[in-house]
Amino acid sequence: MPNKKSAERRVRIAERNRLYNKAWTSRCKTAVKRVLEAVEAGNAEEAHKVFNTAQSVIDKAVVKGVMHKNTASRRKELMSRHLKTLNA
């Protein structure tokens, strides 16, 4: 339990940020999962559509400071590799 007023504020802010980051992280994971499911189903058109959406969500998470840019790049590359196997 914090003893000072500023420490109490930091606890509240940390909790608020934790929930915000958790929501964005979940959103990113769901977007990636949708792309991989579309690729697995063999639906090329749907896969490309959700791929573009997933890229957008991941890039927004980077701008907001939720995800590191290298992590975002790695996730986008993973999705891209799966899409290439679908096209081949």
Task: Answer whether 69's CB lies under 8 Å from 83's CB.
Answer: no
Q: Residue 88 has what pLDDT?
A: 73
pTM: 0.89
Question: pLDDT under 50 in the chain at which residues?
Answer: none
Q: Residue 86 has what pLDDT?
A: 87
Residue-wise over 34-49: b if at least 16 C-beta within 10 A, else e? Answer: bbbebbeeeeeeebbe
Q: Residue 1 has what pLDDT?
A: 84
Q: Residue 87 has what pLDDT?
A: 79
